[in-house]
Chains A and B, each alone.
Chain A
Amino acid sequence: MNAPNPNSARPRTIVEKIWDEHVVVAGTDGAPDVLGIDLHLVHEVTSPQAFDGLRERGLPVRRPDLTVATVDHSIPTTDRSLPIADEIAAKQVSRLEENCRDFGIPLHGIGSPNQGIVHVIGPQLGLTQPGMTIVCGDSHTPTHGAFGALALGIGTTEVEHVLATQTLLQRRPKTFEVRVEGSLHPGVTAKDIILSLLSRIGVGGGTGHVFEYRGSAIRALGMDGRMTICNMSIEGGARAGLVSPDDTTYEYVAGRTHAPQGADWEAAVERWRTLPTDEGATFDRSISFDASELTPMVTWGTNPGMGFPITSRIPDPDAVSDTTQRDSLRAALQYMALTPGEPILGRPIDVVFVGSCTNSRISDLREAARMIRGRTVSDSVRMLVVPGSTEVKRQAENEGLADIFREAGAEWREAGCSMCIAMNGDQLQPGQYSVSTSNRNFEGRQGKGGRTFLASPLTAVASAVSGRLSDPRALL
């Protein structure tokens, strides 16, 4: 934590510092602030209508040098040497290629060594840096908050605004301190921290706020773990989530393609060291819990807030007094075909998905590979491992992780969003159960009629091996 700034009358949070530095026009006469944007990430699904809007008005992209595009959502994760079989998806991808060419935006497309899930490649390329404002037409943009950036998910109309003006109209968010102290036990991961938070505050608990994740348990995490946590800020309804930067952050960024070099690096780190929340700064809301009390978490329902420790029993709707809440719980259990009072451990499953912008980075794959090594995927389970980027894939292959997954009986895929969003043909069949390292267990999210248990990569592997929802601590 930073000492109070002598030049400032009031200690500030990192969110306030980043905000204050990026106000282009302060909101007056009822208008929101106009916020300058340092980096705009673009993908194929939420951008075509925005580019159409520019064409209709005859506008250029104001800052192609602050804009970068990739393809991730609708592309196949099978053999990339073949044309995309889905004609509608193929058209969407070619539309992005045309738009990037016409407007001068760099594109890491299919075949590029830098292609990947948009929230994986930004950090990997060193484009994501502390103190930046970052936007993307994707709700998981808060992933980049792990670096101490203010990263907001936006809609397509806002994508058009940013393309045209490199600004965003926004009202100042409230701040929400999430303090996690103590040490995680073996087998308990960053994913379990965020699933635990969501189970405490619910999917609307952070609406209107930006989470700042703090405390010794957060500090102890590497950047991949911090990204996992920040990634799911939206699942708590927050507008963003971030971690004040520290040496772990700087070490990760150093030497990457777009990281500052030489004297610029020294100057950047000096600037970044002023970002962390000042001692004495206040938050609009706070919650704290102890990492040492956490166990592996899993969701049982149809939103990410419906989670509990994996050793729990399915909750009973009749014990809930509020009628709408009770109806929602009943609907969730009906969709999931689960019975109140039954333990969730041991539940047979059909598919295991390791991937998504939540858990597809090299550390996730290393942890998963370490656990599955020498074991095999159950005959009753289909397991997909989908690296978050082409670079993560290359790295995992070089480290022998891909062979470990293949030898265990898992499918090793090309990089993309894949079964997290099920736009590309990687999907559950109606009625199937998955254990998924992704971020959403909404009805039909992984395929119409599919049922999702969200969990960590370790829980996913333990479940793949046994064919049933399993506690990874038994395999450590």
Chain B
Amino acid sequence: MTDQTHVREPFRSVTSAVVPLQRNNVDTDQIIPARFLKTVNRAGLGDELFNDWRYLADGSPNPEFILNRPEMAGRQVLVAGDNFGCGSSREHAPWALMAWGIRAVVASGFADIFRNNALKNGLLPIEVSPEELSRLFELVEADPDAAVTVDLEAEELRLPDGSVVGFTVDSFARRMILDGTDELGYLLTLEDELAAYEASHPPRVSTLAG
């Protein structure tokens, strides 16, 4: 049912040690502060990811912030608390996470717009129960370098102790990410349906008039 235009590499799974960020309600202003939204590009936001937590007032890296630990470099899975990505609709948030190298965020809940934006860029929002999330944080605390596997094909999160947590990702978005296709390609195949809708649904306003 989808156009076969490949817009990105097909993605099946990622295995990586995790970046633990045990906070609820991490908002998109923290992920990427508004003053960095003046860019007209998608690329190049990795350095600004979590800027205000990551850098001190004098611009030097904050040694307390998790992302600044040397061993975090190259990790591809972020683990955070509930309601990750709340607030602003800025798609710069998933762009910044991905530019830094994150491919999946595990949390016990995601804000709707962030979840949508993430999936459209191939960043996986993996929702698990609060109990499963607590267990993951405990396992990471016991062995900070232990790896997890996020398997989108199987919809399984494999934890360091060998246990497996199932998750679901929106079935349509999942297919797109596995195939490396995108939703616009699909929408563009619907020309006949769209023309029929437009014929039966006269415009409410014209922004060109008046």
Closest chain B CB from A453 CB (angstroms):
17
Separation of A316 and B207 alpha carbons in the complex (Å):
52
| A430 touches B (CB below 8 Å) | yes
The reply on B23 being an interface residue by CB < 8 A is yes
**Complex: A127 Cα to B91 Cα, angstroms:** 26
Question: How far does the alpha carbon of A76 sit from the alpha carbon of B17 in the complex, in Å?
Answer: 44
B residues in contact with A137, CB < 8 Å: 89, 91
Residues of chain A lying within 8 A (CB to CB) of residue B30: 442-444
Closest A residue to B206 by beta carbon equals A65
Interface 0/1 of A48-64, CB less than 8 Å to B: 11001100010100011
A265 to chain B, nearest CB (A): 13
Contact for B29 among A165, A234, A440, CB less than 8 A = A440
Known A-B contacts A64-B208, A88-B39; the reply to A57 vs B184 at CB < 8 A is yes
Q: Are B205 and A39 in contact (CB under 8 A)?
A: yes
Contact at A30–B83, with CB atoms within 8 Å?
no
* B33 interface hit (Cβ, 8 Å): yes
- Chain A positions 124 through 142: 1 when the CB is less than 8 Å from some CB of chain B, otherwise 0: 0111010110000111000
Q: Which residue of A lies closest to B23 (CB)?
A: A328
Bound-complex Cα distance A34 to B1 (A): 14
Is A317 in contact with chain B by the CB < 8 A criterion? no
Say which one of A66-74, A185-193, A223-231, A468-476 lies at the interface with B: A66-74
B2 CB, min distance to chain A CBs, angstroms: 9
* Chain B stretch 92-125: residues in CB contact (< 8 A) with chain A: 109, 111-113, 116-117, 120-121
A445 to B88 CA separation, bound complex (whole angstroms): 11
**In contact, A127 and B205 (Cβ under 8 angstroms):** yes
Decide yes or no whether A154 CB sits under 8 A from chain B.
yes
- CB–CB B90/A34 < 8 A: no
Within 8 Å CB of B170, what residues of A? 32, 171
Q: Does B15 count as interface, using CB distance less than 8 angstroms?
A: no
Number of A-B contacts defined by CB within 8 Å: 212
| Complex CA distance for A46 and B41, rounded to whole angstroms | 10
**Among candidates A46, A66, A156, A158, residue contacting B207 with C-beta atoms closer than 8 Å:** A66
Q: Which of B68-76, B145-153, B159-167, B188-196 contacts A (4 or more CB under 8 A)?
A: B188-196
A376 interface contact, C-beta 8 A:
no
CA distance A59 to B208 in the complex (A): 20
Q: Assess the A155–B29 pair: CB atoms within 8 A.
A: no
Whether A254 sits at the interface, judged by CB under 8 Å, is: no
Residues of the A chain whose Cβ atoms lie less than 8 Å from the Cβ of B111: 204, 207, 237
Decide: A46 near B172, CB < 8 A? Known: A204-B82, A258-B209, A430-B57. no
A204 adjacent to B40 (CB under 8 Å): no
Q: Among the interface residues A38, A95, A155, A448, which one has the most CB atoms of the partner chain B within 10 A?
A: A155
Q: Which B residues are CB-close (under 8 A) to A160? A: 184
Q: A92-B38, A167-B187, A440-B87 are in contact. Are A129 and B204 (CB under 8 A)?
A: yes
Query: A421 contacts the other chain (Cβ, under 8 Å)?
Result: yes
Cβ-defined contact, B38 with A328, below 8 A? no
The chain B residue sitting closest to A442, CB to CB, is B29
Q: Mark B167-195, 1 if CB is under 8 A from A, else 0.
A: 00011100100000001101110100110
B29 touches A443 (CB 8 A): yes
Given the known inter-chain contacts A24-B193, A46-B89, A165-B194, please indicate yes or no for A204 contacting B83, CB distance below 8 A.
yes
Q: Does A216 lie at the interface of the complex (its beta carbon under 8 Å from any beta carbon of B)?
A: no
Question: How far, in angstroms, from A449 to B23 measured CA to CA in the complex?
Answer: 19
Residues B205 and A328 in contact, CB atoms below 8 Å apart: no
Whether A64 touches B207, Cβ cut-off 8 Å, given contacts A164-B187, A203-B83, is yes
Whether the Cβ atoms of A91 and B188 lie closer than 8 Å is no
A208 contacts chain B at the CB level, 8 A cutoff: yes
* Max chain B C-beta neighbours (<10 A), residue from A91, A129, A207: A207
Q: For chain A, residues 217 to 246, give those with C-beta under 8 angstroms from any C-beta of chain B.
A: 234-235, 237, 239
**Given contact pairs A165-B194, A167-B194, A204 touches B25 in the complex (Cβ within 8 A):** yes
- Smallest Cβ-Cβ distance to A259: which chain B residue: B205
What residues of chain A lie closer than 8 Å to B197, measured between beta carbons? 24, 36
* B66 close to chain A: CB less than 8 A: no
Tell me the bound Cα distance from A157 to B23 in angstroms.
27
- A171 CA to B171 CA, complexed, in Å: 11
Question: Would you call B81 and A324 a contact (CB within 8 A)?
Answer: yes
Instruction: Check B190 against A25 for contact (C-beta < 8 Å).
Output: yes
Q: Is the CB of B172 within 8 A of A207?
A: no
Say if the beta carbon of A1 comes within 8 Å of chain B.
Answer: no
Pairwise interchain contact B171-A30, C-beta atoms closer than 8 A: yes
Shortest CB distance B17–A (Å):
22
Q: With an 8 A cutoff between CB atoms, is A270 at the interface?
A: no
Told that A67-B207, A127-B207, A303-B27 touch, could you supply 7 new A-B pairs with CB distance under 8 A? Answer: A64-B207, A129-B204, A161-B184, A171-B170, A204-B25, A239-B113, A324-B82
Top-9 shortest CB links A-B: A204-B83, A155-B117, A48-B40, A30-B171, A155-B91, A139-B89, A157-B120, A68-B207, A156-B91
**Can you give 14 contacting A-B residue pairs, CB < 8 Å?**
A49-B40, A66-B205, A88-B38, A91-B38, A92-B39, A105-B207, A106-B208, A127-B207, A158-B117, A204-B109, A204-B111, A237-B83, A257-B210, A324-B22
